[in-house]
Amino acid sequence: MTVRREGDVVWLEGACRVEEAETVVGLLGAGMRTVDLSRCQALHAAVAQVLLAFRPALRGGAGGSLPARAPAPGADRGWRSGDKRPRRR
């Protein structure tokens, strides 16, 4: 399993697939407030959406881990930081 609870931290490890989203919802919905991504190698969009919805404290990410490699939201749509709406192409 790529999702585990250790104390008050949810750990995402390896390749987190769509099936893990429900587990993450359950843990965050039960009051878990910190998610560690330092061992996460891949994150399905459904799991990412859960993280965006619950907005837990995220830790990990040093040394070329997943968060550092992930594109910024809107990067594929031509948005710029501070834009109120997408630019027309």
Q: Where are the domains of the chain?
A: 3-69
Read off the pTM.
Answer: 0.69
DSSP element (H, E) containing 16: strand 9-16
Measured distance CA(89)–CA(2) in Å, rounded: 39
Measured distance CA(11)–CA(39) in Å, rounded: 8
Q: 11: closest CA among 80, 86, 69, 66?
A: 66
| Cβ pair 6, 32 in contact under 8 A | no
Q: 18: closest CA among 28, 3, 8, 5?
A: 3
> Could you list the pLDDT tens digit for every one of the 89 residues in the chain?
689 999 999 999 999 999 999 999 999 999 999 999 999 999 999 999 999 999 999 998 644 444 444 544 444 444 444 555 555 55
